[in-house]
């Protein structure tokens, strides 16, 4: 029997007017975020739990799906560097 300790969800919010809204899905969301003409943001991980959850979501996607470098690529677009934030990277 499986026992669930805790759960949580995070979303990518967009509207029908957002670029690629008709294309984005569970399999390609990271590819869409990395497109040059897509603009997005996240909250500061030092000031808001959703900010560090966004970082951890990218780190999990990178680790679980073998997308090496994904976290850095995505967050370089937001202008916050990991050197400034002192986040621990998984090996």
What is the percent of the chain where pLDDT is above 90? 31
Nearest residue to 42 via CA among 69, 16, 11, 2:
11
Return d(Cα 27, Cα 83) in angstroms, integer: 29
**Which pLDDT score, from 0 to 100, does residue 45 have?**
78
For the chain, give the mean pLDDT: 81
The more confident residue out of 14 and 48 is: 14
Whether the pLDDT of residue 24 is over 90: the answer is yes
Nearest residue to 75 via CA among 30, 25, 37:
30
- pLDDT tens digits along 48-65: 888 888 888 889 999 999
Return d(Cα 42, Cα 38) in angstroms, integer: 14
| Rounded average pLDDT over 67-77 | 86
**Which pLDDT score, from 0 to 100, does residue 30 have?**
92
């Amino acid at each position: 029997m499986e026992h669930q300790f805790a759960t949580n969800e995070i979303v990518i919010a967009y509207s029908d007017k957002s670029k690629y809204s008709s294309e984005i899905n569970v399999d390609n969301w990271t590819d869409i975020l990395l497109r040059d003409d897509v603009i997005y943001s996240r909250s500061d991980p030092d000031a808001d739990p959703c900010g560090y959850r966004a970082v951890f979501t990218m780190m999990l996607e990178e680790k679980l799906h073998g997308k090496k470098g994904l976290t850095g690529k995505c967050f370089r677009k937001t202008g916050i560097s990991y050197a400034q934030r002192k986040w621990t990277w998984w090996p």
